[in-house]
Structure 1
């Protein structure tokens, strides 16, 4: 994976974390225990510090960056969906930022909250715990139910498992030219999309 030191500051990756080989980490990046960083994620710690606390995941094509002297933090078990952008913000413990959402400087996403896909969270926004944020600009739509928080935690647990699966078995290979008989499936776990019962 491309790892770059800048001005003598080198990214740190806990040995129990998985960072995909196509992800790019630059400078002041700290990836904590059990974290997952997906393909093509860009964590640019060339201005502010970027921190992934234990069990956080940052999925494919996400961007993390910040202004000089700021910290961009994903707290314990934070879950950052595909293509999301975090800039100088803080995502609370066990919160979820949906696919292609943007969270701007000085914004704080409260613990156990969900930022809907494609939402735009303005700079300085302060989100309470267990909130559902929707729209552009994002607004608190309602309080999440215990069932919704449980569903989110199940999804994050699957990313914890994915971290271990990747560390144990991910390897570069050549594609096959034909589908083999009785082709196995990857072990996708038990989490279900919210629209299913």
Structure 2
């Protein structure tokens, strides 16, 4: 793994976190507890800060970045960022699933209890409202989030990634 200080700022990684051997975490990155950063994932806090809560998983090939002097990236608790997703200069609140290959651009706000479908593109400044599922290019609300999706997808995946990480320590 590459964990590197940039301009005097170094990553802070919480308790019980897993970082894969070829993951990259650089600069002003703060990560909570029970997080995991998987193979080929990049969290690059060189141009602005990146803050992550507890029980966040950044799956294989995902990239988290920000925009210089404009848009930091803040991620809440119990968030899953799918394989090859791009999360850039935005705010992601608690209990969110960002699907595989999704793109979340600058100044987006993803409120609590939201699923962003695989391959969705949230254009600059989009607000994904709480309790919703978003899909498409550009992403639009396609339905309300029901309790089955909240428990069966958002919570299940976040909890499973804590378990999977224990296998890789």
Query: Corresponding residue for 2:168?
Result: 166
d(CA) in 1 for partners of 2:34, 2:141: 30
Q: Comparing both chains, which one has the higher relative contact order based on Cα–Cα distances under 8 Å and sequence gaps of 6 or more?
A: 2
Q: Secondary structure at the match of 1:93?
A: coil
- The answer as to 2:156 corresponding to 1:154 is yes
Q: Considering only CA atoms, is the larger Rg found in Structure 1 or Structure 2? A: 1
- Tell me, which stretches of 5 or more residues in structure 1 are unaligned? 168-197
Q: Residue 48 of structure 1: CA displacement? A: 1.1
d(CA) in 1 for partners of 2:157, 2:15: 22
Q: Residue 140 of structure 1: CA displacement? A: 0.6
Q: Secondary structure at the match of 2:156?
A: helix
TM-score, normalised with respect to structure 1? 0.82
Query: Corresponding residue for 1:190?
Result: none
Query: Corresponding residue for 2:118?
Result: 117
Q: Which moved more, 1:131-140 or 1:1-10?
A: 1-10
Contact 1:110 1:131 in 2 (8 A): no
Aligned length: 167
Select the structure that is richer in strand: 2
RMSD (Å), alpha carbons:
1.0
Q: Residue 95 of structure 1: CA displacement? A: 0.6
TM-score, normalised with respect to structure 2? 0.95
Query: Corresponding residue for 2:27?
Result: 27
d(CA) in 2 for partners of 1:32, 1:155: 17
